[in-house]
């Protein structure tokens, strides 16, 4: 696939997520004014695998920034957005803006910074993590949360379901801790000080249910075996500023991807003596969103505060994206009209 680049004009990117159902379909979460003040947008589009063109299908606007999103694992058209006003929006992309959001769930008292859908059997369950120091468990069919997890001492930046166990998830927080949770237990089953500075992200290894990666303000990524968390398995050093996201490859056990405030995306083999496999500098502002496709091997997408979204294949020999490519979005007929649109 040729590389794809798309500009979210007027909105700074925060997250990108590949659909688990449709190859080359991407959701983009973005905010005006770097997410400090202004509206947000949840954008859905397809990348043409032959030309690399990004075709915007629909766009939903919110009254505050959108910081993250998660696709439903049971309904191919349903997606949730984590919003700056403390709400969680549930959208159906098969319907237009007038019929959305399907739900607006508002229990968090500060910004909702992360969302994760259950990957291993609980197909209607999802998590949200917030700057109110809590994580909430939701069911798509209910209008209120099922449970609140309140054992972190600072902002929770990430909550990630285990891809192996439907009852287990991990969380990463500004209190420097990684916590492992089991829904069958009343409290966190493991709490590990994984970095000396704020822990911004985590992700489970897709091949080994005991291995998890964390990224931090300390500019490193660390790999952990939760059976023996007294010392990290490996530390990946190479970013110049905070690591905002880490993603474990669904297709290669040893490969992880990272994006950083140093404006780069990294590809690593954490078991190699020379772990940095590649590094792309195609963003011109903080690189804050990153995802890997579970349907197309090697397909990666990133977004940044430069209003750019890039998608490219890291294993098929395609050329990398170009930082200077700042073309405006092409005019394709939208699946759901975005303007004029109500603000949810």
Q: Is residue 332 part of a domain?
A: no
Q: Which residues of the chain have pLDDT under 70?
A: 324-343
Tell me the residue range of the domain where 254 lies.
Answer: 12-313
Q: Is residue 74 part of a domain?
A: yes
Q: How confident is the model at residue 324, as a pLDDT?
A: 45
Q: How confident is the model at residue 123, as a pLDDT?
A: 76
CATH code, domain with 215? 2.130.10.10
Per DSSP, 86 falls in state S
Q: What are phi and psi of 208, to 5 degrees?
A: -130, 115
Give pTM, 2 decimals: 0.93
Q: How confident is the model at residue 327, as a pLDDT?
A: 37
* Two structure tokens written together for 106: 């508002």
Q: Is residue 52 part of a domain?
A: yes
Phi-psi region of 179 (alpha: psi -120 to 50; beta: other; left: phi over 0): beta
Do the Cβ atoms of 231 and 218 come closer than 8 Å?
A: no
By C-alpha distance, which of 22, 23, 41 is closest to 307?
41
Q: How confident is the model at residue 316, as a pLDDT?
A: 85
Q: How confident is the model at residue 121, as a pLDDT?
A: 81
Helix (H, G, I), strand (E, B) or coil at 142: coil
Q: Is residue 200 part of a domain?
A: yes
Model confidence pLDDT, tens digit, residues 84-134? 999 999 999 999 888 999 999 999 999 999 999 999 987 799 999 999 999
Q: Is residue 340 part of a domain?
A: no
Q: Is residue 50 part of a domain?
A: yes
Q: How confident is the model at residue 1, as a pLDDT?
A: 83
Q: Is residue 250 part of a domain?
A: yes
Domain count, the chain: 1
Q: Is residue 206 part of a domain?
A: yes
Q: How confident is the model at residue 338, as a pLDDT?
A: 37
Exposure of 78 in the CB half-sphere (CA atoms within 13 A): 16
């Amino acid at each position: 696939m040729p590389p794809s680049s798309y500009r979210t004009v007027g909105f700074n990117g925060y997250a990108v997520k590949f659909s688990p159902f449709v190859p080359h379909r991407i959701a983009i979460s973005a905010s005006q004014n770097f997410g400090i003040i202004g509206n947000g947008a949840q954008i859905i589009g397809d990348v043409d695998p032959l030309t690399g063109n990004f075709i915007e299908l629909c766009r939903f606007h919110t009254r505050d920034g959108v910081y993250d999103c998660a696709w439903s694992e049971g309904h191919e058209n349903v997606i949730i957005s984590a919003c700056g006003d403390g709400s969680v929006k549930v959208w159906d992309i098969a319907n237009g803006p007038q019929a959305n959001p399907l739900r607006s769930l508002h229990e968090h008292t500060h910004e909702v910074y992360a969302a994760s859908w259950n990957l291993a059997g609980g197909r209607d369950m999802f998590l949200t993590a917030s700057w109110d120091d809590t994580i909430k468990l939701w069911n798509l069919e209910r209008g209120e949360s099922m449970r609140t997890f309140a054992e972190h001492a600072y902002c929770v930046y990430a909550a990630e379901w285990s891809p192996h166990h439907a009852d287990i998830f991990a969380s990463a927080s500004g209190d420097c801790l990684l916590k492992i949770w089991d829904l069958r237990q009343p409290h966190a089953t493991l709490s590990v000080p994984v970095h000396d500075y704020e822990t911004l992200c985590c992700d489970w290894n897709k091949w080994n249910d005991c291995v998890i990666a964390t990224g931090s303000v300390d500019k490193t990524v660390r790999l952990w075996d939760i059976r023996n968390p007294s010392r990290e398995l490996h530390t990946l050093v190479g970013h110049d500023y905070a690591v905002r996201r880490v993603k474990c490859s669904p297709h290669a056990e040893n490969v992880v991807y990272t994006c950083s405030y140093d404006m780069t995306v990294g590809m690593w083999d954490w078991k190699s003596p020379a772990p940095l496999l590649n590094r792309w500098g195609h963003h011109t502002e903080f690189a804050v969103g990153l995802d890997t496709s579970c349907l197309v091997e090697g397909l990666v997408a990133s977004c940044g505060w430069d209003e750019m979204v890039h998608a490219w294949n890291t294993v098929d020999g395609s050329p990398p994206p170009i930082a200077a490519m700042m073309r405006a979005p092409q005019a394709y007929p939208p699946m759901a009209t975005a303007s004029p649109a109500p603000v949810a």
